[in-house]
Protein backbone atom coordinates (compact mmCIF):
# COMPACT_ATOMS: atom_id res chain seq x y z
CA UNK A 1 0.00 0.00 0.00
CA UNK A 2 1.50 3.30 -1.02
CA UNK A 3 2.00 5.99 1.56
CA UNK A 4 -0.11 9.12 0.87
CA UNK A 5 2.04 12.07 -0.23
CA UNK A 6 1.19 14.20 2.81
CA UNK A 7 2.21 11.36 5.16
CA UNK A 8 5.33 10.57 3.13
CA UNK A 9 6.42 14.23 3.27
CA UNK A 10 6.10 14.42 7.06
CA UNK A 11 7.67 10.98 7.54
CA UNK A 12 10.63 12.02 5.40
CA UNK A 13 11.12 15.13 7.56
CA UNK A 14 10.97 13.10 10.79
CA UNK A 15 13.48 10.60 9.37
CA UNK A 16 15.88 13.45 8.64
CA UNK A 17 15.46 14.73 12.20
CA UNK A 18 15.99 11.26 13.66
CA UNK A 19 19.14 10.81 11.57
CA UNK A 20 20.47 14.17 12.79
CA UNK A 21 19.66 13.27 16.40
CA UNK A 22 21.32 9.86 16.01
CA UNK A 23 24.59 11.47 14.96
CA UNK A 24 24.42 13.92 17.85
CA UNK A 25 23.09 17.01 16.10
CA UNK A 26 20.19 17.89 18.36
CA UNK A 27 18.96 21.22 19.71
CA UNK A 28 18.56 19.56 23.12
CA UNK A 29 22.09 18.18 23.31
CA UNK A 30 23.69 19.14 26.64
CA UNK A 31 20.89 21.64 27.27
CA UNK A 32 20.96 22.88 30.85
CA UNK A 33 17.99 22.18 33.10
CA UNK A 34 17.94 25.90 33.98
CA UNK A 35 17.26 26.79 30.32
CA UNK A 36 13.55 27.20 29.57
CA UNK A 37 14.10 26.11 25.95
CA UNK A 38 16.93 25.49 23.48
CA UNK A 39 18.54 28.57 21.89
CA UNK A 40 16.36 30.14 19.17
CA UNK A 41 19.24 29.78 16.73
CA UNK A 42 22.76 28.40 16.72
CA UNK A 43 25.76 30.25 15.22
CA UNK A 44 26.31 27.42 12.70
CA UNK A 45 22.60 26.95 12.00
CA UNK A 46 22.96 27.19 8.20
CA UNK A 47 25.73 24.63 7.80
CA UNK A 48 24.64 22.31 10.56
CA UNK A 49 20.94 21.49 10.87
CA UNK A 50 19.80 19.96 14.13
CA UNK A 51 17.02 17.71 15.35
CA UNK A 52 14.30 20.00 16.79
CA UNK A 53 13.55 17.49 19.55
CA UNK A 54 10.93 15.29 17.91
CA UNK A 55 10.82 11.83 16.45
CA UNK A 56 8.05 9.74 14.93
CA UNK A 57 6.95 6.26 14.08
CA UNK A 58 4.98 5.17 11.04
CA UNK A 59 2.55 2.27 11.41
CA UNK A 60 -0.46 0.81 9.66
CA UNK A 61 -3.70 0.88 11.60
CA UNK A 62 -7.05 -0.11 10.13
CA UNK A 63 -5.51 0.09 6.66
CA UNK A 64 -4.36 3.64 7.31
CA UNK A 65 -0.83 4.98 7.61
CA UNK A 66 -0.48 6.52 11.05
CA UNK A 67 2.37 8.85 11.92
CA UNK A 68 2.88 9.38 15.64
CA UNK A 69 5.33 11.92 16.94
CA UNK A 70 6.99 12.05 20.34
CA UNK A 71 9.95 13.75 22.02
CA UNK A 72 13.40 12.59 20.96
CA UNK A 73 15.57 11.01 23.66
CA UNK A 74 17.55 14.20 24.38
CA UNK A 75 14.41 16.32 24.55
CA UNK A 76 12.81 13.78 26.89
CA UNK A 77 15.95 13.60 29.07
CA UNK A 78 16.15 17.42 29.28
CA UNK A 79 12.43 17.57 30.16
CA UNK A 80 13.07 15.19 33.07
CA UNK A 81 16.04 17.25 34.31
CA UNK A 82 13.98 20.42 33.84
CA UNK A 83 11.13 19.12 36.04
CA UNK A 84 13.60 18.26 38.84
CA UNK A 85 15.24 21.68 38.52
CA UNK A 86 11.86 23.49 38.63
CA UNK A 87 10.86 21.50 41.71
CA UNK A 88 14.15 22.47 43.42
CA UNK A 89 13.51 26.12 42.50
CA UNK A 90 10.05 25.97 44.07
CA UNK A 91 11.50 24.50 47.28
CA UNK A 92 14.20 27.20 47.31
CA UNK A 93 11.66 29.99 46.66
CA UNK A 94 9.35 28.66 49.37
CA UNK A 95 12.23 28.58 51.87
CA UNK A 96 13.25 32.14 50.92
CA UNK A 97 9.66 33.39 51.29
CA UNK A 98 9.37 31.74 54.70
CA UNK A 99 12.51 33.49 55.94
CA UNK A 100 11.64 37.00 54.77
CA UNK A 101 7.86 37.32 54.82
CA UNK A 102 6.03 37.73 58.07
CA UNK A 103 2.41 36.74 58.36
CA UNK A 104 0.13 39.54 59.69
CA UNK A 105 -0.32 37.95 63.08
CA UNK A 106 3.39 37.64 63.74
CA UNK A 107 4.93 40.22 65.98
CA UNK A 108 8.23 41.97 65.65
Q: What are the residues binding Zn ion (CB under 5 A)?
A: 21, 26, 51, 72, 74
Q: Is 31 exposed, middle or buried (0-12, 13-18, 19+ CB in 10 A)?
A: buried
d(CA 74, CA 97): 34
d(CA 63, CA 1): 9
Closer CB to Zn ion, residue 19 or residue 60?
A: 19
Closer CB to Zn ion, residue 26 or residue 31?
A: 26
Smallest distance, Zn ion to C-beta of residue 69, A = 12
d(CA 81, CA 75): 10
Smallest distance, Zn ion to C-beta of residue 40, A = 17
Closer CB to Zn ion, residue 32 or residue 88?
A: 32
d(CA 29, CA 83): 17
Smallest distance, Zn ion to C-beta of residue 30, A = 12
Smallest distance, Zn ion to C-beta of residue 71, A = 8
Amino acid sequence: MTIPAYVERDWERYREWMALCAKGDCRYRDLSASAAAPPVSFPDEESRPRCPGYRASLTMEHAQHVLRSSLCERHRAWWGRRQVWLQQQRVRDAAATKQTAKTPWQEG
